[in-house]
Amino acid sequence: MTPLEIVAVVVSFTGIWLTATRRMLCWPVNLIACALYFKLFLDVRLYADMVLQAVFGIAIVYGWLAWARGKVDSGDVVVEPLRPSRALAGLAAGAVGAVVIGWFMSHYTNAALPWADATLSSFSLVAQYWVARRHAANWLLWIAVDILYVAMFAYKGLLLTAGLYAAMVVLAVIGYRRWRARATT
């Protein structure tokens, strides 16, 4: 556990809580969390997750803009349904991304866990896209991904980060319940 990991955990937890409660402040807080975790993952050679943080930075800007346009007059962010065909397309893209990123990481880097890291990173991108599109289903994918992240981070000795991801599973359950209650039909 390093000071960087401690700060990253606190900022990340705050950002996810703000996302679960559909607060616009989630976007700048999550952007700071991405920068902190970029450096941390570089330090422990989880390169796919490091690159994921950079991509998340771009996705956060996109999500911030999408949420700003997806508010009703009261200021609440509108939750949109995810059509089954779009869900399948997203999951298929996650699987293809896992294979492509995993192959690259396993052949061209000294990544510690290239396939696990790539798979979780790829499906995290799908979940993040669904967050930006305001789909409640994002939380279901986050639950699955975060459970597996707990194991990977514990294995790498990032126990505080593993604890964060365990807490993020709980936040994802809360987020799903809150977003489902607000979902449009």
Q: Decide: pTM greater than 0.85.
A: no
In the chain, the percentage of residues whose pLDDT exceeds 70 is: 96
Tell whether the model's pLDDT for residue 162 goes beyond 90: yes
> Residue 37: how many CB atoms within 10 A of its CB?
24
Rounded to whole angstroms, the Cα distance separating 54 from 49 reads: 9
Q: What are phi and psi of 135, to 5 degrees?
A: -95, 125
Residue 55: pLDDT over 60: yes
Interval 74-129: pLDDT, tens = 667 788 899 999 999 999 999 999 999 999 999 998 988 999 999 999 999 999 99
Summarised one tens digit per residue, pLDDT across range 25-37 is 999 999 999 999 9
CA angle 159, 150, 133 (to 5 degrees): 125
| Whether the predicted pLDDT of 173 surpasses 80 | yes
Q: What is the pLDDT of residue 76?
A: 73
Three-state DSSP class for residue 74: coil
Q: Is the pLDDT of residue 184 over 70?
A: no
Residue 161 has pLDDT above 90, yes or no: no
What average pLDDT is seen over the chain? 91
